[in-house]
Chain A
Amino acid sequence: MSDDIVLKVENLRTHFHTKTGIVKAVDGIDFELRRGETLGVVGESGSGKSMTAWSILGMVPKPAGRIETGRILYHGEDLLQKTDDEMRKIRGSGICMVMQDPLTSLNPVLTIKKQLTETLELEFKEKKESLLQRAIALLSSVNIPAPETRVTSYPHEMSGGMRQRVVGAISISRSPDVLIADEPTTSLDVTIQLQYLKLLKDIQEETGVGIIFITHDFGIVAKMCDRVAVMYAGHIIEQAEVTELFDNPLHPYTKALLRSVPDLDDDVEMLPTIEGQPPDLANTPSGCVFRDRCPDPSDDCRDGNVEMGLIEVSPGHWVDQCCINCG
């Protein structure tokens, strides 16, 4: 089983040193990703989802951002010990990422052909002609109609959905075994979203790539993911198999999030919301980060005496230890 683990993140802390103080964007998270598995990372804006992704890729904005502690093991090798050159070789061929906006992820002045062969060239030392054939094959694998003619178009000549699929094709062109998808469907309309998610699934079945799916849409999580990690203020507060998390959420934050998803069968006037605001990441209080918004915190928790940390309540279901005692 452990051989299957392609990526293992241990106690990762990514902090930003700013004038107003140290912003703890990611503050001690652990998770692992297996071959062919999809891990959903859910959380509101600013909970550290994207920064986790950038940390894995070794692209934390410098000089303010810094990875303070932790290990990111990719096939057992710690990525944080790698030099820039070594990281560049891993990026793209080992770990890759799809970004949010398909409209800006492609270079407006280069044809699709040039942008695809540019990355293919890094992987396969071949002649231009065979690279072009590979590019066409890639485009047809992401369901671009008439790829032989499309390959010579410029990005602005394609629709948003098509561009997103081209970006998908570029991302898998070097057949990475970890693909981070950072809200890849937010800027697409619903029908295209579905197509794109199906495409990702197909790619995964074919190549066995492990996907880290960053989103805040529980519908997508239910459809796409095998396991889910819920992030809040730089911490993972609950992690479980998808069905387990939906059926049996333990953390009050997860419960509240699931309650706030509209349900077509229920006739409710107002969706429940979570009172209050997430804490200021520049000076997070000691103890549980969620205690100010917790509906029923224990006395110890309210006083800030409880340390955060995940414990396994049932096989594969991890939850923050503090909140077992709370509402």
Chain B
Amino acid sequence: MATIDFEPIKLSYTQRVLKWIKEYNPPWIPIIILSSLLFFGLFANFVTGDPMANDLKARQIAPFTDIHHILGTDMLGKDMTSRLIFGCRSVLLVTAPSIIVAIFIGTAIGLIAGYTGRITDTILMRITDATLGFPSILVAMLLVTFVGTGYIGVIIAVTATTWARFARMIRGEVLSVRERDFVTLAVILGVSPFMIMWRHLFPNVINTLMVMISLMIGQVVLLEASLSFLGLGMSPGEPAWGIMVAEGRQQLLTTWWVSLLPGILITLVVMAFNFFGDWLRDYLDPRMRRSR
């Protein structure tokens, strides 16, 4: 058979990036929101002033009424702008680590339980059920009492209460994927159980995982807020969006912006994750990718 050799067209780096963008059409607004979250989280102290400095003479200034405090001040006269910007940092320091650790543990346990089955599955799933059965705030409170308050305490508590949801979900998906022929073929070929889980099961459950992550981020932010509200998380007054929402609740009728502004930001971030997760899910699925 005669084969025709095509000279591959050489593209410059910029051309390749542009082609990629054109082909996969990444969601710009969510990417902008998430990258500014990253930017402000990393460089909060260069961008804005001290979020803890209170000026009791300038209390409860409404947004867009004072040139020094564009987004207003709270009940203690702390500047809303710098508090909101420093809030990005607490998202990066607490929310992100705790959800990443939860994803890691939950996915691993879900994969192992779903693939090995039998006694391992039973034991792991009963532990998961037990974790899900307890009200998460109660477990979190208990854990924080043991390990102490502060960043590490909150991360451990949030992880301990969210991994189980991932584990349950992933296990369910694995149960259906592992019955498919390509998994059997991998077993026939002598592929080790670890590689089967990593190469064959995991890529096929990423879709579900993506959806779960975007749903869980909102919950994690709220759980952190509740912990702080109960005095078990980060200390009250620290610039975290959840804490700010909780602080503003008592004076919702007069100083509504203290709750509303961080609330809007939480919504924006959660929605950005949602849309980004949607796109990522399609991007990771080769069938969706090529049919665009």
Is B180's CB within 8 Å of the partner chain A? yes
Task: Knowing A107-B204, A109-B285, A156-B286, say if A92 contacts B181 (CB, 8 Å).
Answer: no
Q: How far does the alpha carbon of A6 sit from the alpha carbon of B41 in the complex, in Å?
A: 66
Binary per-residue interface labels of chain B (268-291) against chain A in the complex, 1 for a CB within 8 Å, 0 otherwise: 000000000000000011110010
Q: Which of A104, A118, A173, A174 contacts B181 (CB 8 A)?
A: A104
Q: Does B182 contact A (CB under 8 A)?
A: yes
The answer to whether A93 and B190 touch across the interface, beta carbons within 8 angstroms, is: yes
- Given the interface pairs A110-B199, A114-B199, the reply to whether A101 lies near B181 with Cβ below 8 Å is yes
User: Interface code B157-199, partner A: CB below 8 Å = 1, 0 otherwise?
Assistant: 0000000000000000000000011101111111110010001
Set of chain B residues within 8 Å of A96, measured between Cβ atoms: 188-189
Neighbouring B residues of A110 by C-beta, 8 Å: 199-200, 203
User: Which residue in A91, A118, A157, A171 is a CB contact (below 8 Å) of B290?
Assistant: A157
Could you say which of A63, A122, A167 contacts B190, with CB atoms under 8 Å apart? A122
What residue in chain B is nearest A145 (Cβ atoms)? B1
State whether the Cβ of B254 lies closer than 8 Å to any Cβ in chain A: no
Given that A91-B190, A110-B199 are known contacts, is A105 also in contact with B290, CB under 8 Å in the complex?
Answer: no
A90 interface residue (CB < 8 Å to B):
yes
Residue of A63, A96, A114, A118 most packed against chain B (CB within 10 A) = A118
Cβ distance A229 to chain B, nearest Cβ, rounded Å: 22
Within the assembled complex, what's the spacing in Å between the Cα atoms of A63 and B113?
17
Please tell me if B3 contacts chain A, counting CB pairs below 8 Å: yes
Give the number of residues in A that approach B within 8 Å (Cβ atoms).
34
Contact B189 A109 (CB under 8 A): no
B134 smallest CB distance to A (angstroms): 32
Asked if residues A92 and B204 are in contact (CB atoms below 8 Å), the reply is no
How far apart are A194's CB and chain B's nearest CB, in angstroms?
18
Q: Which of B206-263 contact A (CB under 8 A)?
A: none
Q: How far is the CA of A160 from the CA of B181 in the complex (A)?
A: 15
How far apart are the CA atoms of A171 and B188 in the complex, in Å?
A: 9
**Most chain A Cβ neighbours within 10 Å, of B180, B181, B191, B192:** B181
A190-232 near B? 1/0 per residue, CB < 8 Å = 0000000000000000000000000000000000000000000
Asked whether A122 and B290 contact (CB < 8 A) given A105-B181, A107-B182, the answer is: no
Q: How far is the CB of A4 from chain B (nearest CB, A)?
A: 24
Give per-residue flags for A66-108: 1 if the beta carbon is below 8 A from chain B beta carbons, else 0: 0000000000000000000000111111001101010011111
- A2 to chain B minimum Cβ distance, whole angstroms, is 27
A57 in complex: contacting residue of B1, B188, B284, CB < 8 Å: B188
- Closest partner residue, chain B, to A148 (CB atom): B3
CB nearest neighbor in B for A62: B118
Q: How far is the CA of A93 from the CA of B199 in the complex (A)?
A: 19
Taking CB atoms, residues of chain A closer than 8 Å to B181 are: 99, 101, 104-105
Query: Which residues of B sit under 8 angstroms from A59, Cβ to Cβ?
Result: 184, 187-188
A147 CA / B187 CA spacing, docked (Å): 25
Question: Which of B182, B195, B200, B290 lies at the interface centre, i.e. has the most chain A CB atoms within 10 A of its CB?
Answer: B182
Q: Is the CB of B185 within 8 A of A105?
A: yes
A residues in contact with B284, CB < 8 Å: 109
Cα distance A196–B286 in the bound complex, in angstroms: 27
Query: Across the two chains, which residue of chain A brings its CB closest to B193?
Result: A88
Say yes or no for A119: interface residue by CB 8 A criterion.
yes
Contacts of A173 in B (CB 8 A): 189
Q: Mark A115-138, 1 if CB is under 8 A from B, else 0.
A: 000110010000000000000000
By Cβ-Cβ distance, the 9 closest A-B pairs, closest first, are A92-B190, A92-B189, A104-B181, A91-B190, A107-B182, A109-B203, A154-B286, A105-B181, A119-B189
B interface, CB within 8 angstroms of A: 1, 3, 118, 180-182, 184-192, 195, 199-200, 203-204, 284-287, 290
What are 20 pairs between A and B in contact, CB < 8 Å?
Answer: A88-B192, A91-B187, A92-B191, A96-B188, A99-B181, A99-B185, A101-B181, A107-B182, A107-B200, A107-B204, A108-B204, A110-B200, A114-B199, A122-B190, A154-B290, A156-B286, A156-B287, A170-B185, A173-B189, A174-B190
Given contacts A63-B118, A104-B181, A108-B204, 8 further A-B contacts (CB under 8 A): A104-B180, A104-B182, A107-B182, A108-B286, A122-B189, A122-B191, A156-B287, A174-B190
